Amino acid sequence: MTISLLAQARVLADGFAEFLLPSACAICRAPHRPDTDGIVCGSCLARLVPLTLPQCHRCGQPRLSANAPLPLNDTGAVSSLPPCRWCVRLPSIVRAARSVCRMDVGTGAALVHALKYGGWPAVARPMARRMARLHFPDDVTRERAMLVPMPLSDTRQRERGYNQAERLATAIAPLWRLPVMHTCLRRVRNTESQVQLTPSERMRNVSRAFAVRAESRSTLRGAHVLLVDDVITTAATLNAAAQALADGGARIISYVTFGRAPDPGDRTDLNFDSDRNNHE
């Protein structure tokens, strides 16, 4: 009886708090009824724009133009796609990369900005739910052993108060039933912001910027690691972190990010088939 009364009191208290301070979306600021994603309204989540299909089986980058026919073999079946121009930027230690949405259209950039700069760490929950639904090759799903968030520099983490990649990894972990290796990867030197840098400058900027802690090497040895970040642009930062993980004993690495920045030559047609990566 006491537990029941406490539960009822908690419901009443929550309802009273909602009456006094109604929930507002962290993106559009419109009042909305909280649901499982709470901090972001359904309208803003519905305006995420997934990457178009078909996608490269390895890197997840949209392939071909919207009007180009898929290559057919002699039997009339769809044959393998031509080599992917985006895959060449990934080192051989990277098995696959997947991202939820585009950053140039829709609300993807607004969610990332709210998480990264707006002081809304709870935005990581709805972002992570959609990251966890991404379709990876079967061997990645079968072998993945742990999540490693992209580390921030000590200075940037103090300024922000938290690591956005760590918040994403922590929210994905129960959905994939994987442990999060919070401290195995560290930044060994500060790097300047990548935003205004060219691809070659990005590579030089993050070269040897990461290292694996000695006490984590035994856990990493032979493992397939999922490296987590908020956005992938040229992959330079993720590649540098992946190399550090491989040097620390990881057998292979895959990437999972929420957003993917547009690349010159990307498909821009928005009449996409979203059956594979279904976002509510």
pLDDT in tens, 155-178: 888 888 999 999 999 999 999 999
Distance CA 20, CA 12 (A): 12
Q: What is the CATH number of the domain that holds 173?
A: 3.40.50
Kindly report the length of the chain: 280
Burial class (CB in 10 A: 0-12, 13-18, 19+), 156: middle
Kindly list the distances between the CA atom of residue 69 and the CA atoms of 66, 72, 77, 173, 221, in Å, as whole numbers in the listed order: 8, 9, 12, 39, 43
Burial class (CB in 10 A: 0-12, 13-18, 19+), 102: buried
The answer to whether position 112 is within a domain reads yes
Q: Does the structure show a pLDDT above 70 at 130? A: yes
What is the reported pTM? 0.79
The answer to whether position 140 is within a domain reads yes
The answer to whether position 43 is within a domain reads no
Within 10 A of 52 (CB to CB), how many other CB atoms are there? 21
The answer to whether position 57 is within a domain reads yes
Number of independent structural domains in the chain: 1
The answer to whether position 42 is within a domain reads no
- For 196-227, the pLDDT digits (tens) are 555 555 555 555 678 999 999 999 999 999 99
The answer to whether position 2 is within a domain reads no
Amino acid at 52: T
- What's the confidence (pLDDT) of residue 33? 65
The answer to whether position 17 is within a domain reads no
Percentage of the residues of the chain whose pLDDT score is greater than 70: 69
The answer to whether position 12 is within a domain reads no
- What's the confidence (pLDDT) of residue 11? 44
